[in-house]
Amino acid sequence: GQHGDLTGRRVIVTAGGTQEPIDPVRYVGNRSSGKMGYNLAAEARDRGAHVILVSGPVALPPPFGVELHPVDTAIQMRDAVRDFITDADALIMSAAVADFRPTRVAEQKIKKHGDKSTGQNGEGRFTIDLVSNPDILGELAMALKGDGDVRDVHAGGSIPQLKRRLIRVGFAAETEHLVEHAQEKLQRKQLDLLVANDVSRSDSGFGTDTNKVLIFHADGTMEDLPVMPKTGVAAAIWDRVVPLLG
């Protein structure tokens, strides 16, 4: 990494997967390990940034010298990002945010032989009704007009006025049609950069220490990076964010 090129910058990194509760002991979750996000946080710290790490539950030690904000759910992650966004220079969303959460959370542990109100359908079947989670980057894209002005988006509270131009980086974990999905996501979420990895490869994606990524830029260009340790991918991402910072 480039020593000190993030000095004086405030950056937010999200990491890990969110856990969406079903009842007091169960949740809907995903395979995100948090490794990519924790490496991004450590790399930004080493380059001099003040780092806010908003993390879902992971089995990783908290990185020294970063401000860690643990969350469980997508809504908690959205609220934590909003808390810090006003004076941030960059937001890197490496978290695997659950697209859906259970419509209702049972107050008591759901029993194997419960009634219909808890999802039992009889004959060994059980249904969990899900509702969409807010899209954290999507809401930001909606709220940010071209001039950096922010207006109210919708229920769930407003996004605060930003003090600085916020560089936004998203991730895409895809199992097919990687390039098409990545380009669509970059456009729809109006990102500065989108990092796409093919999670169907054994050397890339959830839980691995290496990643094989494509980096898509807002101008439509794409870079195909070789397989690298996640530390190297983290450095490559910050190398591309730094020139975008005002």
Nearest approach, Cβ of residue 97 and ligand C5P (Å): 4
AA identity, residue 200:
S
- Read off the amino acid at residue 241: V
Binding track, positions 206-245, relative to ligand C5P; x by CB under 6 A? ----------------------------------------
Is the CB of residue 54 less than 8 Å from the CB of residue 11? no
Active centre residues (catalytic): 30
Structure tokens belonging to residue 72: 């469980």
Give the C-alpha separation, 83 to 185, whole Å: 24
**Which 111-140 residues touch ligand C5P, going by CB under 6 A?**
133-137
Please, what is the minimum distance in Å from the beta carbon of residue 80 to ligand C5P?
12
Binding-site residue positions for CTP: 99, 109, 134-137, 171, 185, 189
Q: In angstroms, what is the C-alpha Rg of the chain?
A: 19
Angle of helix 35-46 versus helix 230-241 axis, rounded to 10:
50
Give the residue with the Cβ less far from ligand C5P, 1 or 134.
Answer: 134
Task: Considering the complex, state which of residue 41 and residue 136 has its C-beta at the smaller distance from ligand C5P.
Answer: 136
- The footprint of ligand C5P on residues 16-75 (CB under 6 A) is 74
Using the minimum distance from each CB to ligand C5P, give the nearer residue, 119 or 174.
Answer: 174
> Smallest distance, Å, CB 136 to ligand C5P?
3
The helix (run of H) or strand (run of E) holding residue 167 is strand 167-174
C-alpha of 229 from chain center: 19
Q: Give min distance, CB of 90 to ligand C5P, in A.
A: 13
**Of positions 41, 150, 172, 234, contacts ligand C5P by CB under 6 A:** 172
Query: For residue 134, which of 170, 103, 171, 99 has the smallest C-alpha distance?
Result: 99
Phi, psi of 26 (to 5 degrees): -130, 155
Interface residues with ligand C5P (CB under 6 A) are 74, 93, 95, 97, 99, 133-137, 170-172, 185
